[in-house]
Structure 1
Amino acid sequence: MWRSLLFCMAWGLGCAASRPPVGVVQPPPGERLERIAGPLPGYGPYPTYSDALIAACPLILKQPQATAGRPGDQEFPLRWRLSKEYCAWVYYTPDQQFELSMLATSAVQDDPRKRSCALPAVVEAPRHPPESLGYVFILHNHPFENELSDFDIRFAVAMADVHGLSVNTRAGSVPLSIIAFFSKGHDPTQPTCDGFFQYVPGTGQIIRWTAQEKGRWQRKQIATLTWLDDTNYRIQRQ
Protein backbone atom coordinates (compact mmCIF):
# COMPACT_ATOMS: atom_id res chain seq x y z
CA MET A 1 0.00 0.00 0.00
CA TRP A 2 2.72 2.46 1.01
CA ARG A 3 4.69 1.61 -2.11
CA SER A 4 1.66 2.42 -4.27
CA LEU A 5 1.04 5.68 -2.42
CA LEU A 6 4.66 6.79 -2.71
CA PHE A 7 4.64 5.90 -6.39
CA CYS A 8 1.53 8.00 -6.99
CA MET A 9 3.16 10.95 -5.24
CA ALA A 10 6.36 10.54 -7.24
CA TRP A 11 4.38 10.24 -10.46
CA GLY A 12 2.65 13.51 -9.66
CA LEU A 13 -0.81 11.97 -9.87
CA GLY A 14 -3.65 11.39 -7.49
CA CYS A 15 -4.54 7.73 -7.10
CA ALA A 16 -7.82 8.45 -5.40
CA ALA A 17 -10.85 9.80 -7.21
CA SER A 18 -10.40 13.47 -8.04
CA ARG A 19 -11.93 16.15 -10.18
CA PRO A 20 -11.03 15.64 -13.85
CA PRO A 21 -8.76 18.23 -15.52
CA VAL A 22 -10.16 21.15 -17.49
CA GLY A 23 -11.46 19.92 -20.82
CA VAL A 24 -12.10 16.37 -19.57
CA VAL A 25 -15.55 14.95 -18.84
CA GLN A 26 -15.80 11.99 -16.47
CA PRO A 27 -19.30 10.72 -15.68
CA PRO A 28 -19.97 9.10 -12.29
CA PRO A 29 -19.37 5.33 -12.07
CA GLY A 30 -22.14 3.40 -13.77
CA GLU A 31 -23.30 6.33 -15.89
CA ARG A 32 -22.63 7.01 -19.58
CA LEU A 33 -22.47 10.25 -21.51
CA GLU A 34 -25.14 10.70 -24.17
CA ARG A 35 -23.29 13.57 -25.86
CA ILE A 36 -19.86 15.18 -25.67
CA ALA A 37 -19.48 18.96 -25.86
CA GLY A 38 -17.40 20.73 -28.47
CA PRO A 39 -15.29 22.52 -29.33
CA LEU A 40 -12.55 22.03 -26.75
CA PRO A 41 -11.79 25.45 -25.20
CA GLY A 42 -8.38 26.81 -26.11
CA TYR A 43 -7.88 24.51 -29.10
CA GLY A 44 -8.74 24.99 -32.75
CA PRO A 45 -10.32 25.52 -35.10
CA TYR A 46 -7.94 23.79 -37.52
CA PRO A 47 -7.83 24.27 -41.30
CA THR A 48 -6.78 20.64 -41.91
CA TYR A 49 -7.35 17.33 -40.18
CA SER A 50 -3.57 16.87 -39.97
CA ASP A 51 -3.33 20.03 -37.86
CA ALA A 52 -6.03 18.69 -35.56
CA LEU A 53 -4.23 15.35 -35.15
CA ILE A 54 -0.87 16.98 -34.43
CA ALA A 55 -2.49 19.15 -31.75
CA ALA A 56 -4.49 16.30 -30.22
CA CYS A 57 -1.64 13.81 -29.79
CA PRO A 58 0.37 15.63 -27.07
CA LEU A 59 -2.83 16.99 -25.53
CA ILE A 60 -4.25 13.51 -24.91
CA LEU A 61 -0.97 11.86 -23.93
CA LYS A 62 -0.22 14.50 -21.27
CA GLN A 63 -3.45 13.81 -19.39
CA PRO A 64 -3.09 12.22 -15.92
CA GLN A 65 -2.22 8.51 -16.14
CA ALA A 66 -2.55 8.47 -19.94
CA THR A 67 0.81 6.72 -20.37
CA ALA A 68 2.38 3.84 -18.47
CA GLY A 69 5.90 3.73 -19.90
CA ARG A 70 7.22 0.56 -21.50
CA PRO A 71 6.22 -3.00 -20.55
CA GLY A 72 9.82 -3.79 -19.55
CA ASP A 73 10.02 -0.94 -17.04
CA GLN A 74 10.19 -1.94 -13.38
CA GLU A 75 7.14 0.13 -12.42
CA PHE A 76 5.09 -0.74 -15.50
CA PRO A 77 2.66 -3.18 -13.78
CA LEU A 78 1.62 -0.52 -11.28
CA ARG A 79 1.50 2.21 -13.89
CA TRP A 80 -0.71 0.00 -16.04
CA ARG A 81 -3.15 -0.62 -13.18
CA LEU A 82 -3.44 3.14 -12.64
CA SER A 83 -3.59 4.09 -16.32
CA LYS A 84 -6.59 5.55 -18.12
CA GLU A 85 -7.79 6.14 -21.64
CA TYR A 86 -9.05 9.49 -22.89
CA CYS A 87 -11.08 9.80 -26.06
CA ALA A 88 -12.43 12.59 -28.25
CA TRP A 89 -13.81 13.38 -31.69
CA VAL A 90 -12.26 15.36 -34.50
CA TYR A 91 -15.25 16.75 -36.35
CA TYR A 92 -15.82 18.97 -39.38
CA THR A 93 -18.08 22.02 -39.17
CA PRO A 94 -20.12 24.06 -41.67
CA ASP A 95 -17.39 26.70 -41.29
CA GLN A 96 -15.13 24.26 -43.18
CA GLN A 97 -12.89 23.84 -40.16
CA PHE A 98 -11.88 20.86 -38.04
CA GLU A 99 -12.51 20.95 -34.29
CA LEU A 100 -11.70 18.82 -31.24
CA SER A 101 -14.44 17.81 -28.85
CA MET A 102 -13.97 17.70 -25.10
CA LEU A 103 -12.14 14.62 -23.82
CA ALA A 104 -14.08 11.77 -22.23
CA THR A 105 -12.70 9.32 -19.69
CA SER A 106 -14.11 6.65 -17.40
CA ALA A 107 -13.98 6.75 -13.61
CA VAL A 108 -13.65 2.96 -13.34
CA GLN A 109 -11.56 0.49 -15.34
CA ASP A 110 -13.22 -2.82 -14.50
CA ASP A 111 -11.14 -5.13 -16.71
CA PRO A 112 -7.47 -5.53 -15.65
CA ARG A 113 -6.53 -6.74 -19.15
CA LYS A 114 -7.50 -3.58 -21.01
CA ARG A 115 -8.28 0.12 -20.78
CA SER A 116 -11.26 1.87 -22.34
CA CYS A 117 -13.18 5.12 -22.47
CA ALA A 118 -16.80 5.58 -23.52
CA LEU A 119 -17.02 8.18 -26.28
CA PRO A 120 -20.56 9.33 -27.10
CA ALA A 121 -21.64 9.09 -30.73
CA VAL A 122 -22.83 12.70 -30.84
CA VAL A 123 -20.97 16.00 -30.42
CA GLU A 124 -22.99 18.88 -29.00
CA ALA A 125 -21.63 22.08 -30.56
CA PRO A 126 -23.73 25.15 -29.66
CA ARG A 127 -23.01 26.97 -32.92
CA HIS A 128 -23.98 24.08 -35.18
CA PRO A 129 -26.86 21.58 -35.27
CA PRO A 130 -25.74 17.95 -34.80
CA GLU A 131 -26.76 16.93 -38.33
CA SER A 132 -24.45 19.58 -39.83
CA LEU A 133 -21.28 18.06 -38.34
CA GLY A 134 -18.99 15.59 -40.06
CA TYR A 135 -17.41 12.95 -37.83
CA VAL A 136 -13.84 12.30 -38.96
CA PHE A 137 -11.60 10.74 -36.27
CA ILE A 138 -12.24 8.81 -33.08
CA LEU A 139 -9.21 9.73 -30.98
CA HIS A 140 -7.87 7.97 -27.91
CA ASN A 141 -4.60 7.01 -26.23
CA HIS A 142 -3.07 3.64 -25.49
CA PRO A 143 -1.03 3.65 -22.26
CA PHE A 144 1.81 1.94 -24.14
CA GLU A 145 2.60 1.09 -27.75
CA ASN A 146 0.14 -1.66 -28.56
CA GLU A 147 -2.10 -2.12 -31.55
CA LEU A 148 -5.81 -1.44 -31.87
CA SER A 149 -8.04 -3.72 -29.83
CA ASP A 150 -11.06 -5.71 -30.90
CA PHE A 151 -13.21 -3.15 -29.10
CA ASP A 152 -11.51 -0.31 -31.02
CA ILE A 153 -12.23 -1.99 -34.34
CA ARG A 154 -15.86 -2.75 -33.56
CA PHE A 155 -16.48 0.72 -32.15
CA ALA A 156 -15.09 2.32 -35.32
CA VAL A 157 -17.42 0.20 -37.45
CA ALA A 158 -20.37 1.09 -35.22
CA MET A 159 -19.61 4.81 -35.58
CA ALA A 160 -19.25 4.43 -39.36
CA ASP A 161 -22.73 2.87 -39.37
CA VAL A 162 -24.04 5.93 -37.52
CA HIS A 163 -22.17 8.70 -39.33
CA GLY A 164 -21.08 7.21 -42.66
CA LEU A 165 -17.76 5.93 -43.95
CA SER A 166 -16.43 9.33 -44.98
CA VAL A 167 -16.90 13.08 -44.64
CA ASN A 168 -16.93 15.54 -47.52
CA THR A 169 -14.63 18.48 -46.80
CA ARG A 170 -13.36 21.38 -48.87
CA ALA A 171 -10.15 19.37 -49.44
CA GLY A 172 -12.05 16.27 -50.55
CA SER A 173 -13.47 13.17 -48.93
CA VAL A 174 -11.92 12.12 -45.60
CA PRO A 175 -12.64 8.58 -44.35
CA LEU A 176 -13.85 8.08 -40.80
CA SER A 177 -11.25 6.20 -38.76
CA ILE A 178 -10.13 5.41 -35.24
CA ILE A 179 -6.77 6.64 -33.92
CA ALA A 180 -4.75 5.33 -30.95
CA PHE A 181 -1.89 7.62 -29.89
CA PHE A 182 1.11 6.18 -28.07
CA SER A 183 4.34 7.27 -26.41
CA LYS A 184 7.53 5.21 -26.43
CA GLY A 185 9.00 7.11 -23.49
CA HIS A 186 9.95 5.56 -20.16
CA ASP A 187 8.85 8.57 -18.08
CA PRO A 188 5.04 8.95 -17.92
CA THR A 189 5.41 12.45 -16.49
CA GLN A 190 7.03 13.61 -19.73
CA PRO A 191 5.28 11.70 -22.52
CA THR A 192 6.31 12.18 -26.11
CA CYS A 193 3.98 11.88 -29.08
CA ASP A 194 5.74 9.07 -30.93
CA GLY A 195 3.00 7.77 -33.18
CA PHE A 196 -0.43 6.28 -33.57
CA PHE A 197 -2.31 3.31 -34.97
CA GLN A 198 -5.20 3.88 -37.37
CA TYR A 199 -8.01 1.67 -38.61
CA VAL A 200 -10.12 2.82 -41.57
CA PRO A 201 -13.43 0.90 -41.78
CA GLY A 202 -14.06 2.03 -45.35
CA THR A 203 -10.88 0.40 -46.70
CA GLY A 204 -9.97 -2.16 -44.03
CA GLN A 205 -6.48 -0.66 -43.68
CA ILE A 206 -4.63 -0.83 -40.37
CA ILE A 207 -1.79 1.69 -40.41
CA ARG A 208 1.05 2.54 -38.06
CA TRP A 209 2.27 6.14 -38.11
CA THR A 210 5.55 7.07 -36.40
CA ALA A 211 7.02 10.50 -35.76
CA GLN A 212 10.28 11.27 -37.54
CA GLU A 213 12.74 14.15 -37.40
CA LYS A 214 11.76 17.68 -38.42
CA GLY A 215 8.04 17.07 -37.99
CA ARG A 216 7.81 14.31 -40.60
CA TRP A 217 5.65 11.21 -40.19
CA GLN A 218 6.27 7.72 -41.55
CA ARG A 219 3.27 5.73 -42.72
CA LYS A 220 3.28 1.93 -42.85
CA GLN A 221 0.28 -0.26 -43.54
CA ILE A 222 0.71 -3.22 -41.20
CA ALA A 223 -2.46 -5.18 -41.98
CA THR A 224 -5.72 -5.40 -43.88
CA LEU A 225 -8.92 -6.26 -42.06
CA THR A 226 -11.66 -8.11 -43.95
CA TRP A 227 -15.12 -8.73 -42.52
CA LEU A 228 -16.26 -12.33 -43.09
CA ASP A 229 -19.81 -11.65 -41.91
CA ASP A 230 -21.60 -9.26 -39.57
CA THR A 231 -19.62 -10.34 -36.50
CA ASN A 232 -16.36 -11.98 -37.62
CA TYR A 233 -13.31 -10.58 -39.36
CA ARG A 234 -9.88 -11.68 -40.52
CA ILE A 235 -6.68 -9.66 -40.20
CA GLN A 236 -4.01 -10.28 -42.82
CA ARG A 237 -0.58 -8.98 -41.86
CA GLN A 238 1.48 -7.17 -44.47
Structure 2
Amino acid sequence: MNSTKQHLLVSLLFGLGCSSPKLADPHVWRPTSGQGAESIPGPLKNFGPFDSFSDALKAACPLILSKPNASVVHLQERDPELALRVSTEYCAWLYYTPEHKYELSMLTDVPLPGSALHGAASCLLPPNVDDPRYPPSSIKYIFLLHNHPFAGELSEVDINFTVAMANAHELVVEAGSRTISLSVVAFFSNSKDSQNPTCDGFYQYAPATRELLQWINTKGDWQKNKVGTVHWVSQTRFKIIRE
Protein backbone atom coordinates (compact mmCIF):
# COMPACT_ATOMS: atom_id res chain seq x y z
CA MET A 1 0.00 0.00 0.00
CA ASN A 2 1.48 3.34 -0.99
CA SER A 3 1.85 6.12 1.57
CA THR A 4 -1.03 8.19 0.15
CA LYS A 5 -3.57 5.39 0.42
CA GLN A 6 -2.23 4.43 3.84
CA HIS A 7 -2.73 8.00 5.03
CA LEU A 8 -6.29 8.03 3.68
CA LEU A 9 -7.13 4.76 5.38
CA VAL A 10 -5.77 5.98 8.71
CA SER A 11 -7.83 9.15 8.32
CA LEU A 12 -10.95 7.06 7.74
CA LEU A 13 -10.38 4.81 10.72
CA PHE A 14 -9.64 7.58 13.16
CA GLY A 15 -10.87 10.88 11.69
CA LEU A 16 -14.13 9.55 10.27
CA GLY A 17 -14.85 7.15 13.03
CA CYS A 18 -15.09 4.18 10.62
CA SER A 19 -15.99 1.53 13.13
CA SER A 20 -16.01 -2.21 13.33
CA PRO A 21 -19.48 -3.77 12.89
CA LYS A 22 -19.10 -5.07 16.46
CA LEU A 23 -19.21 -1.56 17.92
CA ALA A 24 -22.74 -0.68 18.95
CA ASP A 25 -24.44 2.56 17.96
CA PRO A 26 -27.58 3.29 20.02
CA HIS A 27 -29.25 4.74 16.93
CA VAL A 28 -28.51 1.81 14.60
CA TRP A 29 -30.43 -1.47 14.57
CA ARG A 30 -29.17 -4.66 12.98
CA PRO A 31 -31.12 -7.93 13.05
CA THR A 32 -29.42 -10.67 15.03
CA SER A 33 -28.84 -14.11 13.62
CA GLY A 34 -32.17 -15.81 13.00
CA GLN A 35 -34.11 -12.59 13.60
CA GLY A 36 -36.68 -11.63 10.99
CA ALA A 37 -36.31 -8.38 9.07
CA GLU A 38 -39.98 -7.63 8.46
CA SER A 39 -39.98 -4.74 10.91
CA ILE A 40 -37.60 -2.20 12.42
CA PRO A 41 -37.95 -0.98 16.03
CA GLY A 42 -39.39 2.43 16.78
CA PRO A 43 -39.32 5.07 18.00
CA LEU A 44 -35.71 6.25 18.04
CA LYS A 45 -34.91 7.08 21.65
CA ASN A 46 -34.18 10.67 22.63
CA PHE A 47 -35.28 11.92 19.22
CA GLY A 48 -38.65 13.55 18.80
CA PRO A 49 -41.55 13.26 18.70
CA PHE A 50 -42.31 16.10 16.27
CA ASP A 51 -45.44 18.10 15.57
CA SER A 52 -44.69 18.40 11.84
CA PHE A 53 -42.91 16.24 9.30
CA SER A 54 -40.85 19.25 8.18
CA ASP A 55 -39.40 19.61 11.68
CA ALA A 56 -38.69 15.87 11.72
CA LEU A 57 -36.90 16.07 8.37
CA LYS A 58 -34.77 19.01 9.47
CA ALA A 59 -33.69 17.06 12.55
CA ALA A 60 -33.20 13.70 10.80
CA CYS A 61 -30.94 15.08 8.07
CA PRO A 62 -27.95 16.06 10.26
CA LEU A 63 -28.45 13.01 12.47
CA ILE A 64 -28.19 10.55 9.57
CA LEU A 65 -25.38 12.42 7.80
CA SER A 66 -23.34 12.46 11.03
CA LYS A 67 -23.05 8.67 10.97
CA PRO A 68 -19.71 7.10 9.93
CA ASN A 69 -19.17 7.31 6.16
CA ALA A 70 -22.69 8.61 5.49
CA SER A 71 -21.01 11.18 3.24
CA VAL A 72 -17.86 10.40 1.25
CA VAL A 73 -17.75 13.29 -1.21
CA HIS A 74 -14.40 14.30 0.29
CA LEU A 75 -12.93 11.01 -1.01
CA GLN A 76 -14.45 10.91 -4.50
CA GLU A 77 -11.63 12.72 -6.30
CA ARG A 78 -8.74 11.41 -4.20
CA ASP A 79 -9.66 7.73 -4.08
CA PRO A 80 -12.98 6.73 -5.66
CA GLU A 81 -12.40 3.02 -4.99
CA LEU A 82 -11.91 3.65 -1.29
CA ALA A 83 -14.93 5.96 -1.24
CA LEU A 84 -17.12 3.24 -2.70
CA ARG A 85 -15.75 0.59 -0.35
CA VAL A 86 -16.42 2.54 2.85
CA SER A 87 -19.59 4.42 1.84
CA THR A 88 -22.57 3.53 4.03
CA GLU A 89 -26.28 4.18 3.68
CA TYR A 90 -28.50 4.46 6.74
CA CYS A 91 -32.26 3.95 6.40
CA ALA A 92 -35.20 4.76 8.65
CA TRP A 93 -38.96 5.24 8.55
CA LEU A 94 -40.61 8.53 9.43
CA TYR A 95 -44.10 7.62 10.58
CA TYR A 96 -47.23 9.18 12.07
CA THR A 97 -48.74 7.91 15.32
CA PRO A 98 -52.24 7.85 16.82
CA GLU A 99 -51.03 10.62 19.14
CA HIS A 100 -50.74 12.90 16.06
CA LYS A 101 -46.96 13.00 16.26
CA TYR A 102 -44.21 12.24 13.76
CA GLU A 103 -41.62 9.72 14.94
CA LEU A 104 -38.42 8.27 13.52
CA SER A 105 -37.69 4.56 13.68
CA MET A 106 -34.23 3.33 14.52
CA LEU A 107 -31.68 3.50 11.73
CA THR A 108 -30.30 0.48 9.93
CA ASP A 109 -27.17 0.12 7.82
CA VAL A 110 -27.79 -3.46 6.71
CA PRO A 111 -26.72 -3.48 3.04
CA LEU A 112 -29.09 -4.43 0.27
CA PRO A 113 -27.83 -7.75 -1.15
CA GLY A 114 -25.85 -7.19 -4.32
CA SER A 115 -25.86 -3.40 -4.09
CA ALA A 116 -22.07 -3.18 -4.13
CA LEU A 117 -22.03 -4.96 -7.49
CA HIS A 118 -23.96 -2.02 -8.96
CA GLY A 119 -21.40 0.50 -7.78
CA ALA A 120 -23.42 1.99 -4.92
CA ALA A 121 -24.16 1.42 -1.26
CA SER A 122 -27.82 0.75 -0.47
CA CYS A 123 -29.42 -0.07 2.86
CA LEU A 124 -32.20 -2.61 3.34
CA LEU A 125 -35.12 -1.00 5.17
CA PRO A 126 -37.70 -3.41 6.63
CA PRO A 127 -41.23 -2.68 5.34
CA ASN A 128 -42.80 -2.18 8.77
CA VAL A 129 -42.17 -0.38 12.06
CA ASP A 130 -42.52 -2.21 15.36
CA ASP A 131 -43.63 0.44 17.86
CA PRO A 132 -44.95 -1.50 20.88
CA ARG A 133 -47.07 1.47 22.01
CA TYR A 134 -49.51 1.13 19.12
CA PRO A 135 -51.32 -1.53 17.10
CA PRO A 136 -49.47 -2.09 13.81
CA SER A 137 -52.47 -1.00 11.75
CA SER A 138 -52.58 2.41 13.49
CA ILE A 139 -49.16 3.54 12.21
CA LYS A 140 -49.08 5.75 9.12
CA TYR A 141 -45.98 5.46 6.93
CA ILE A 142 -44.83 8.86 5.67
CA PHE A 143 -41.22 8.88 4.41
CA LEU A 144 -38.52 6.33 3.68
CA LEU A 145 -35.43 8.21 4.81
CA HIS A 146 -31.84 7.50 3.87
CA ASN A 147 -28.60 9.25 2.90
CA HIS A 148 -26.70 9.28 -0.39
CA PRO A 149 -22.98 9.13 0.40
CA PHE A 150 -22.03 10.51 -3.04
CA ALA A 151 -24.75 13.23 -3.04
CA GLY A 152 -26.32 11.79 -6.18
CA GLU A 153 -29.93 11.65 -7.31
CA LEU A 154 -32.40 8.92 -6.41
CA SER A 155 -31.55 5.54 -7.90
CA GLU A 156 -33.68 3.03 -9.74
CA VAL A 157 -33.64 0.89 -6.60
CA ASP A 158 -34.91 3.83 -4.52
CA ILE A 159 -37.81 4.52 -6.84
CA ASN A 160 -38.89 0.90 -7.29
CA PHE A 161 -38.72 0.19 -3.56
CA THR A 162 -40.79 3.31 -2.80
CA VAL A 163 -43.48 2.15 -5.22
CA ALA A 164 -43.51 -1.24 -3.50
CA MET A 165 -43.88 0.40 -0.08
CA ALA A 166 -46.68 2.66 -1.34
CA ASN A 167 -48.48 -0.45 -2.56
CA ALA A 168 -47.89 -2.22 0.75
CA HIS A 169 -49.10 0.71 2.88
CA GLU A 170 -50.89 3.77 1.49
CA LEU A 171 -50.15 5.84 -1.59
CA VAL A 172 -51.56 8.92 0.18
CA VAL A 173 -51.62 9.20 3.96
CA GLU A 174 -54.19 11.02 6.06
CA ALA A 175 -52.20 12.50 8.95
CA GLY A 176 -54.56 14.53 11.10
CA SER A 177 -55.83 17.38 8.96
CA ARG A 178 -53.10 16.86 6.35
CA THR A 179 -52.89 14.68 3.28
CA ILE A 180 -49.33 13.50 2.62
CA SER A 181 -47.99 11.41 -0.24
CA LEU A 182 -45.75 8.55 0.88
CA SER A 183 -42.31 9.25 -0.55
CA VAL A 184 -38.63 8.47 -0.42
CA VAL A 185 -36.11 11.05 0.80
CA ALA A 186 -32.34 10.91 0.22
CA PHE A 187 -30.29 13.38 2.27
CA PHE A 188 -26.97 14.59 0.95
CA SER A 189 -23.99 16.75 1.86
CA ASN A 190 -21.69 18.55 -0.55
CA SER A 191 -19.16 19.33 2.16
CA LYS A 192 -15.62 17.99 1.88
CA ASP A 193 -15.16 18.35 5.63
CA SER A 194 -15.19 14.73 6.75
CA GLN A 195 -15.66 15.69 10.39
CA ASN A 196 -18.67 17.97 9.90
CA PRO A 197 -20.78 17.06 6.86
CA THR A 198 -23.45 19.68 6.35
CA CYS A 199 -27.09 18.97 5.56
CA ASP A 200 -27.22 20.57 2.12
CA GLY A 201 -30.51 19.12 0.94
CA PHE A 202 -32.36 16.02 -0.19
CA TYR A 203 -33.97 14.36 -3.18
CA GLN A 204 -37.60 13.24 -2.97
CA TYR A 205 -39.91 11.05 -5.03
CA ALA A 206 -43.61 10.43 -4.39
CA PRO A 207 -45.34 7.72 -6.45
CA ALA A 208 -48.68 9.55 -6.09
CA THR A 209 -47.41 12.61 -8.00
CA ARG A 210 -44.53 10.93 -9.91
CA GLU A 211 -42.51 14.11 -9.30
CA LEU A 212 -38.78 13.94 -8.69
CA LEU A 213 -37.78 16.90 -6.53
CA GLN A 214 -34.60 18.39 -5.15
CA TRP A 215 -34.68 20.45 -1.96
CA ILE A 216 -31.69 22.73 -1.29
CA ASN A 217 -30.85 24.04 2.15
CA THR A 218 -29.69 27.65 1.88
CA LYS A 219 -28.89 29.01 5.35
CA GLY A 220 -31.96 27.35 6.80
CA ASP A 221 -34.29 28.23 3.93
CA TRP A 222 -35.40 25.25 1.83
CA GLN A 223 -35.79 25.81 -1.89
CA LYS A 224 -37.73 23.29 -4.02
CA ASN A 225 -36.57 22.45 -7.54
CA LYS A 226 -38.42 20.05 -9.80
CA VAL A 227 -35.91 17.69 -11.40
CA GLY A 228 -38.44 15.89 -13.56
CA THR A 229 -41.34 13.46 -13.73
CA VAL A 230 -41.08 9.68 -13.56
CA HIS A 231 -42.82 8.15 -16.56
CA TRP A 232 -43.51 4.42 -16.28
CA VAL A 233 -43.17 2.44 -19.49
CA SER A 234 -43.95 -0.89 -17.80
CA GLN A 235 -44.58 -2.20 -14.28
CA THR A 236 -40.87 -2.24 -13.53
CA ARG A 237 -39.26 0.14 -16.02
CA PHE A 238 -39.40 3.92 -16.14
CA LYS A 239 -37.71 6.95 -17.59
CA ILE A 240 -37.31 10.41 -16.12
CA ILE A 241 -38.68 13.31 -18.18
CA ARG A 242 -36.39 16.19 -17.21
CA GLU A 243 -37.64 19.71 -16.62
- On whether the aligned pair clears a TM of 0.5, the verdict is yes
1:62 aligns with 2:63: no
Instruction: Trace 1:123-202 onto structure 2 (pairs within 5 A).
Output: 123-202=129-208
Post-superposition CA distance 1:179-208 (Å, at most 9, x none): 000000002221100000001100100000
Change (3 A) 1:188 1:18: farther
Change (3 A) 1:234 1:12: closer
Aligned counterpart, 2:211? 205
**Equivalent-residue separation in structure 2 for 1:92 and 1:115 (angstroms):** 28
Contact 1:91 1:99 in 2 (8 A): yes
Contact 2:93 2:144 in 1 (8 A): yes
What TM-score does the superposition give when structure 1 sets the normalisation length? 0.92
Contact 1:29 1:107 in 2 (8 A): no
Aligned counterpart, 2:222? 217
Letter in 1 for 2:72: A
1:226 aligns with 2:231: yes
Instruction: Trace 1:4-43 onto structure 2 (pairs within 5 A).
Output: 5-14=9-18, 16-27=20-31, 33-43=37-47
Contact 2:112 2:124 in 1 (8 A): no
Query: Secondary structure of the equivalent of 2:61?
Result: helix
**Equivalent-residue separation in structure 1 for 2:97 and 2:198 (angstroms):** 29
Q: CA deviation at 1:77?
A: 3.5
Post-superposition CA distance 1:14-59 (Å, at most 9, x none): 4543324111012368976221011100011100000110010000
**Equivalent-residue separation in structure 1 for 2:76 and 2:41 (angstroms):** 38
Gaps of 5+ in 1: none
Corresponding residue pairs, total: 237
**Equivalent-residue separation in structure 2 for 1:124 and 1:7 (angstroms):** 37
Post-superposition CA distance 1:106-141 (Å, at most 9, x none): 268751501111101110011111100100000000
Post-superposition CA distance 1:89-111 (Å, at most 9, x none): 00000111110000011268751
Aligned counterpart, 1:114? 120
Query: Secondary structure of the equivalent of 2:21?
Result: coil
Gaps of 5+ in 2: none
Q: Percent identity?
A: 42
Aligned counterpart, 1:84? 88
**Equivalent-residue separation in structure 2 for 1:193 and 1:162 (angstroms):** 30
Per mean C-alpha deviation after superposition, the further-off stretch among 138-147 and 110-119 is 110-119
Query: Secondary structure of the equivalent of 1:25?
Result: coil
What TM-score does the superposition give when structure 2 sets the normalisation length? 0.90
Q: CA deviation at 1:11?
A: 2.5
Change (3 A) 1:218 1:108: closer
**Equivalent-residue separation in structure 2 for 1:123 and 1:136 (angstroms):** 12
**Equivalent-residue separation in structure 2 for 1:109 and 1:75 (angstroms):** 24
